[in-house]
Amino acid sequence: MTVISRSIRGLAAGALLLALPFAWPARADDLRSVKVGEPMPAYHLPTLDGKTVSSDELLGKTVVVVCLSAEQHRSELAAVESFDVVKALGNDNVRLIHVTADADRKDYFEEFREEHGIDVPLAFDADRGWSAKLGLIVLPTTVVIGPDDKLVHVISLHSSRYGGTLDAYIRHALGELSEAELEHRLEAAASHSASTRTLALGHRAQARAMRDKGLTDSAKAELLKARELQPDDPEIVLDLADLDLAMGELDQAAELVDLVLKAQPEHRRALQMKAIVCFRRGQFDQAEALFNEALKLNPKPEQIHYYLGQICEARGDTKDALAHYREALRRLLEEPG
């Protein structure tokens, strides 16, 4: 994510839950209001893509619901890892849904999901009506619902054993594992470390925290650790480039951005950062062309309009500059056009 969007929106959401002491739930953990084996409350929720998701439509399927909080590190890990687990299963009888009460944070979820290639439904429980019926205590909370729409398993929070535990719970709900086999899988999951993707995501989150505190060297060290784990992840490379930009290291930033663009010429974030490098170098024509190209790919282009406004202002075109600044502000505030 961009520096501006991070600084504007902040990282306050979910901070209280992040401060909670870690405690992995015991086997067969329960929700506060629904016990294992009991029917789940019905839901009919709007989704990020303007559709709806309904429990009635998913009857007969094994459904995994992950309840998330915006900008909360554990929720980010659960979102990524649950997606990876269900995708790896490749079972048409399994459905994954992410649910959040943070309907006002669509911009964050759009960026995060695009960044990590997550394409499962994200449903909004804005009034927390469904969450209240479950009796959620902490976030993230993951529930596995059987084909008969009854609660089968619950995972509270997230730890390094999350992926192995979720995989075992789903297979048990599908009837692929007996109780004894499930216990064996859970024991194995307890001894497994997190996936490289999850570990890299953790280093990126730590880098953001260090950067917010002004500890740029520490932030860079965390990003380099992440890159060692996933050298081909373009977002890690661009995080490093973004840090170089903030430190005024334009040549280093440009080199990293070009690495991404060589592999993915239409990468939205890379195009946008290349344009910023050109802008910082005073190459306004090239910057403008790149910003306009990125604008076509960017669902939340407030930063692009801000820079286009600066380019127009540098040229003395006050009218167009104000138009871009207004558009940036309108999009940032999510006002209607």
Task: Read off the pLDDT band of 11 (50, 70, 90).
Answer: very low
**pLDDT of 310-320, one tens digit each?**
999 999 999 99
Residue 128 is encoded by which pair of tokens? 């927390």
pLDDT digits (tens, 9 = 90+) for 41-69: 999 999 999 999 999 999 999 999 999 99
Same-domain status, 25 and 128: yes
Shared domain check, 70 and 165:
yes
The pLDDT value given to residue 4: 40
pLDDT of 333: 74
Neighbouring-strand partners of residue 150: 39
Q: Is 32 exposed, middle or buried (0-12, 13-18, 19+ CB in 10 A)?
A: exposed
pLDDT > 70: what percent of the chain? Answer: 88
Please state, rounded to an integer, the average pLDDT across all residues of the chain.
Answer: 88
Q: Are residues 81 and 174 in the same domain?
A: yes
Residues 250 and 181 in one domain: no
- What is the β-pairing status of strands 122-124 and 94-100? parallel
Q: Which range marks the domain in which residue 316 is found?
A: 236-333
Same domain as 323, residue 261: yes
Neighbours of 238 (CB within 10 A): 24
- Give me the residue label for tokens 């290291």: 249
- CB-count exposure of residue 117 (10 Å: 0-12, 13-18, 19+): exposed
262 and 143 inside one domain: no
Residues 224-248 have pLDDT tens digits of 999 999 999 999 999 999 999 999 9
> What's at 246, amino acid-wise?
A
Residue 26 domain-assigned (yes or no): yes
Residue 334: what pLDDT?
64
Domain match, 256 and 151 both: no
Domain count for the chain, please give it.
2
Residue 218 in domain? no
Local confidence band at 193 (pLDDT 50, 70, 90 cut-offs): low
* 276 and 138 within one domain: no
Residue type, 84: D
Q: Return the closest-CA partner of residue 238 out of 218, 259, 209.
A: 259
Look up the pTM and report it. 0.70
pLDDT, position 7 = 39
* Shared domain check, 140 and 66: yes
Q: Is residue 140 reached through a cis peptide bond, with omega within 30 degrees of 0 on the bond before it?
A: yes
Question: CA–CA separation, 167 vs 48, rounded Å?
Answer: 26
Residue 199 forms part of a structural domain: no
- Beta pairing partners, 95: 63
The answer as to whether 208 is a domain residue is no
Do 275 and 294 touch, CB atoms closer than 8 A?
A: yes
248: which 2 tokens? 């005024």
What CATH number should be reported for the domain holding residue 133?
A: 3.40.30.10
